[in-house]
Structure 1
Amino acid sequence: MSSASAPTRSVDGVELPAAGTWKLDPGHAEVGFVGRHFMLTKIRGRFTSVEATVEIGERPEDSKVSAVIDVTSLSTGDQSRDDHIKSADLFEAEKYPKAVFESTSVSWNGVEGKLVGDLTIKDVTRSVTLDVEYLGYARDPWENDRIVFSAKGKVNREDWGLTWNMVLETGGVLVSKEIELVLDLEAVRQV
């Protein structure tokens, strides 16, 4: 249940979430990615098991995000592709079942911002920048306060040792190095 204080506040004339702790609702979250197959077709995947906490600061730029992604929960809609992506060729999910994100800085302007953080995959940590948009607030039928964000960013998968690929006869490679991260997140206010 939400606390008695207001779930949102005005910051420079813009409605933003109240300061405090908000937990990701995994049933209403999409933590996904888009890569290219044959450098043409978009292949989408998602992680169905993610835990995350958003600490909204008194000043929006003091906010922090931490997340743990269960790599074994990867789903692309094709079991053989999922098994290959989780295999030793790429994620090595049996050895490294979790990926971790910890924010290092936030900049904010209106309802948009940049979230910079350390993403660790296979014990390799690299900085990632996400463009974030605050989409709004809602109270659910059980009186829980919820906030909704979307975020996007691009990474080179090889930066984390995800280097498996095949060269095509016609030039290019089978799987793109550049991966787009696409997140749609709903978080619930904690008391």
Structure 2
Amino acid sequence: MSSDIAPTRTIGGVDLPAAGTWKVDAGHTEVGFVGRHFMLTKVRGRFTGVDAAVEIGERPEDSRVTAVIDMASVDSGDGTRDDHLRSADFFDVAKYPRATFASTSVTWDGTSGTLVGDLTIKDVTRSVTLAVDYLGYARDPWDNDRAVFSAHGKINREDWGLTWNMALEAGGILVSKEIELTLDLETIRQS
């Protein structure tokens, strides 16, 4: 959406997105996770149903992020595993179809910052800290202003009641408790 207001501004010598609402483009966004199987192999997954917005503040520290994730949209590349993740053993999507995220604080320095927010899964809310990078701005061929961000952090899935596991005969557990979160967000300026 082109407007008379510049899509970026310079703060502290760094170009950053203009203040306003930037809606996440779900087709160019990935909310992913990485866990370990047998405590060795990385298993990657993602949620394809994400509705989110970034409210960029006049001061970067005043920015806010909100998101709703369709938990049934989980995709790990294996249908049997995805069905298990959707079951009551994990996300219980029949009872808890959505997860939500709402930021509570932002710190910012240059093109990087820290985003702290409340992540709710299965009606359990816990604080999550994400390291965020602003990757840049582009105007697409349809005259939309786009800002791109990446973020990552780690959580203990058991903090949200996602406790299903199996002990291994040789010791250890089948599925790691620690989960890496990886987000790549492409946003479109709304106002």
**Same fold by TM-score greater than 0.5:** yes
| In 1, Cα distance between equivalents of 2:111 and 2:171 | 42
What SS is found at the alignment partner of 2:129?
strand
TM-score (normalizing by structure 1): 0.99
1:93-104 alignment, distance < 5 Å: 93-104=93-104
| In 2, Cα distance between equivalents of 1:172 and 1:184 | 32
TM-score (normalizing by structure 2): 0.99
1:182 aligns with 2:187: no
Divergent runs of 4+, >2 A: none
Instruction: Provide structure 1 residue ranges, at least 5 long, that are not aligned to the other structure.
Output: none
| In 2, Cα distance between equivalents of 1:139 and 1:112 | 21
What SS is found at the alignment partner of 2:28?
strand
Aligned-residue identity in percent: 74
Residue pair 1:137, 1:146 contacting (<8 A) in 2 also = yes
2:139 equivalent in structure 1 = 139
1:22 equivalent in structure 2 = 22
Q: Deviations over 1:30-73 (max 9, x none)?
A: 10000000000000000001000100000000000000000000
Q: Deviations over 1:127-167 (max 9, x none)?
A: 00000000000000000000000000000000000000000
What SS is found at the alignment partner of 1:27?
helix
| In 1, Cα distance between equivalents of 2:107 and 2:17 | 15
Instruction: Provide structure 2 residue ranges, at least 5 long, that are not aligned to the other structure.
Output: none
What SS is found at the alignment partner of 1:159?
helix
Q: Deviations over 1:8-50 (max 9, x none)?
A: 0000000000000000000000100000000000000000010
1:56 equivalent in structure 2 = 56
1:81 aligns with 2:68: no
1:162 equivalent in structure 2 = 162
Aligned residues: 191
